[in-house]
Amino acid sequence: MTNNITNNMMKMNAQLQQAADELVALSGKPACGHLVFQLVPAGVTMDHGVLEAECDSAGVPKRWRPKEVRQRTAAKRAMADLSRRLGKGYEARRVNVTTEDEEVFEIVEVLSDEDAKKNIYDRKETLVLNLMTGLVTSSGYDSNWAPHEVAAAALYRKYRAHNATDLRNMVLGFLRRHGVMLSTGSGVYFVPQSQSVVDVLGAMQSVLATAGGTVITLAQPDTAATRASMEASARTSLSGELAQLEQRLGAIDVDTLGDKTFGKKMVELSELKAKAAVLAGVLQFKADDINAKVDAVAQAFNAKVKGLLNVPTAPAAALAVNAAPAPAPAPAFDLVSDLAMPEALPEAAPVPAPAQRLSTAEEEFGF
């Protein structure tokens, strides 16, 4: 069944791309960019080692690859899942007696003692999980109790692997860095024409195809109508990204802010301004208003922490925020270079209309 789905997706991808290329050819204009969306069926999983090998073979930059799931994190998730499967009245509980390579859990029956007004825990089974091998050994306390070492080992493997959301987010992270979403929740992005970007998307398509997914890139002709439509989407998306970034910066506790975090935040602003410059160059519009807003946010954040940090001079990437915008065409630099990744922060509050909110992989259409 999975092979049939994969083959159908590959055929659909090829047909759509051929149709888009033919439209570009008929227009007599070069491509100004691509519309991109991705599909990964629910329930797909891929072991980290397999994913790494596929990414190495296809040429996916390490920056965009999902990180390996930690062993103890996978173990806790597996036991939580096992507890749900056991049903009401039973729990899989972690035992504090653990070693460097093992996690120990007990399955207990929870009995209520109404007179003492407390719960009584009747041990049914002890599970010892080897984090390195994934093997589980079981010790039972009840001859009528069926052991769960096979189920526990299977769940551990499941949570050590990457799921469909991990694979979707690999592509979404790249699209959000280099493109703009056409409308909230649509899952369809416009990315400016760049061979390096197209190469990475092609590499990701190769990886997703092994899991039954796909990345579809449709060339868009460089016409006035295309530029006007994409400009409107770009302005809305960039405004939304800036609004969310401004909210995250406002939520930072400057009393605990370090030089490294300050530099990362300034890099985020610099990257946003660089993306606006690329879009403005490709789509032939002036981004002075967007640049001014980015500069204002950068200056406000800099003023907020001034005197609290040892930042007499900002990092080179941060200084670029206040630099004059590059003239069209877009500046020639590698869009997929390994710049500093944004630091993970709490989810920002929704951005009021008309700013555009970044959606999750599950919220975007087509997944």
329 cis-preceded (ω within 30 degrees of 0): yes
- pLDDT value at residue 11: 56
Average pLDDT over every residue of 17-37? 67
DSSP designation for 101: T
Q: How many CA atoms lie within 13 A of 24 on its CB side?
A: 18
Q: Are residues 62 and 142 in the same domain?
A: no
- For residues 335 and 174, the answer to whether their CB atoms sit within 8 Å is no
Q: What is the pTM of this model?
A: 0.67
Q: Are residues 217 and 313 in the same domain?
A: yes
pLDDT tens digits, residue range 276-330? 888 888 888 888 898 899 988 888 888 877 754 443 344 444 334 444 444 434 3
Q: Are residues 186 and 295 in the same domain?
A: yes
DSSP designation for 182: S
DSSP designation for 88: T
Q: Are residues 171 and 254 in the same domain?
A: yes
Is 355 contained in some domain?
no
pLDDT tens digits, residue range 160-169? 999 999 999 9
Q: Are residues 81 and 185 in the same domain?
A: no
Q: Among 160, 189, 219, give the residue marking a domain's end.
A: 160
59: left (phi over 0), alpha (psi -120 to 50) or beta: left
Average pLDDT over every residue of 23-34? 68
pLDDT tens digits, residue range 89-123? 899 989 876 688 999 999 998 888 777 678 888 88
Range of the domain at 187: 2-68+163-322
pLDDT tens digits, residue range 211-263? 888 888 888 888 888 888 888 888 888 988 899 888 988 888 877 878 788 88
The Cα 64–Cα 49 span in angstroms is 15
Per-residue pLDDT for 24 more than 60?
no
